[in-house]
A and B are shown apart, each in its own frame.
Chain A
């Protein structure tokens, strides 16, 4: 606050708590926001009060919603649990891409280079397509594995070298629907993935996608 604008700051600060609580509208709000653009000190003051509001909301105890709430929300969003299908692969790739962008700060726009942002290969159980392996071009040593889970339970995902030996292992506790997990690819000639259920039965296999 400077001497030149102290009177204006005083007026603003009278109103700042209500601004922070979102209770001021119209020209009063417009005038306040205009002042904030020119006054970092009042901006900081308002931000502090806004934090108070955030912290107050965080005191509200959680409450379990009525039975069926989750499904009703998903219905409202038009979301249905996906079954593996050729078109699902690129939805998953986009999801993986979004995660990679978020994790590494972006600078990468899906498809902007004229080629897919990620590559994918199918996971199969016999002749049935049961999932996908997705690798972002920006993060080639991290595999995103999506699998349509037939039976909930612990899954073991193994990365196999070309000679069939196991290069890395990851476990995943599947709850049903489409399971997702990530696994880092170690250096070397890793060529395929094998997923087994808790009883040791192989439920999916697939070759790693080629960049």
Chain B
């Protein structure tokens, strides 16, 4: 059963569909929570919350705006960022996180792996300071002001680094799509 149909069935409260849904996505959801938080117990709590929120709001999912997995990992990421703020979780080192993102890890599908390789290459090509700012903003959910404090740099510099990194990655993705 496709992800979309599974989620549609989930709205009806079918237990078997709920089981299938959890089994299909639990590793991705837990992976996002663990990567952001670095604490397995906290990550499990966040992952559980993410499934609960998806269950409650399944009817609001709009397949025209993206895939179920993207929606669910966005929910998880938002919850993980909130949890990191609320509980003052020990921050994951940006360089360590960058290594996780750019490492050779099994992907969800051959197609995903192919396109992911190009994105990883684009991240590796970023200047170190831009990569750190990007990771802190995009994964730890730090605002530009918080990135500035964390890195000991002026606010304007933090904003510039985040923006430059995002625009470089966007350009890399556009090039990739043009080639395709």
Chain A residues close to B by CB (< 8 Å): 14, 16-18, 20-24, 48-49, 51-66, 69-70, 72-74, 76-77, 79-82, 91-92, 94-99, 101-103, 177-180
A116–B53 alpha-carbon span in the complex (Å): 29
Task: List B residues 100-159 near A (Cβ within 8 Å).
Answer: 100-103, 105-106, 108, 112, 115-116, 119-120, 137-139, 141-144, 159
Asked whether, in the complex, the Cβ of B27 is within 8 Å of the Cβ of A65, the reply is yes
Pick 6 A–B contacts, CB within 8 A, sort by A: A53-B138, A58-B108, A61-B106, A63-B30, A63-B35, A73-B47
Q: Is the CB of B32 within 8 A of A57?
A: yes
Of all chain B residues, the one with the shortest Cβ separation from A92 is: B14
- CB of A61 within 8 A of CB of B44, answer no
B85 CB contacts on chain A under 8 angstroms: none
Q: Which residues of A contact B139 (CB under 8 A)?
A: 56
Are A60 and B159 also in contact (CB < 8 A) when A73-B51, A102-B5 are? no
In the complex, which residue of chain A has the Cβ closest to the Cβ of B27? A62
* Contact across chains for A73 and B166 when beta carbons are under 8 A apart: no
Assuming A69-B44, A77-B55, is B101 touching A22 (CB within 8 A)?
A: no
The one of A16, A22, A58 that contacts B116, using a Cβ cutoff of 8 Å: A58
Question: Are B167 and A17 in contact, with the CB atoms below 8 A?
Answer: yes
The chain A residue with its CB closest to the CB of B160 is A14
A-B contact count (CB 8 A): 177
Task: Name the 7 nearest CB pairs between A and B, nearest first.
Answer: A102-B8, A62-B27, A61-B105, A95-B14, A95-B12, A17-B166, A65-B30
Please give, as numbers and ranges, the residues of chain A lying within 8 Å of B102 by CB-CB distance: 59
- Please report whether the interface of chain A is mostly helix, strand, loop or mixed according to DSSP: helix
A76 to B52, CA, bound (A): 7
Q: Indicate whether B13 reaches chain A with its CB closer than 8 angstroms.
A: yes
Q: Distance (Å) between the CB of B6 and the closest chain A CB?
A: 9
Is B34 positioned at the interface, with any CB of A under 8 Å from its CB?
yes
Given contacts A18-B144, A73-B26, whether A56 and B101 have CB atoms under 8 Å apart is: yes
CA A64 – CA B137 in complex, angstroms? 25
A114 to chain B, nearest CB (A): 20
**Contact pattern, B 40-60, Cβ under 8 Å of A = 1, otherwise 0:** 100010011001100100000
| B100 and A79 contacting across the interface, CB-CB below 8 Å | no
User: Chain B residues near A103 (CB, 8 Å)?
Assistant: 5, 8
A59 and B119: CB pair below 8 A? yes
Contact (Cβ within 8 A) B138 A21? yes
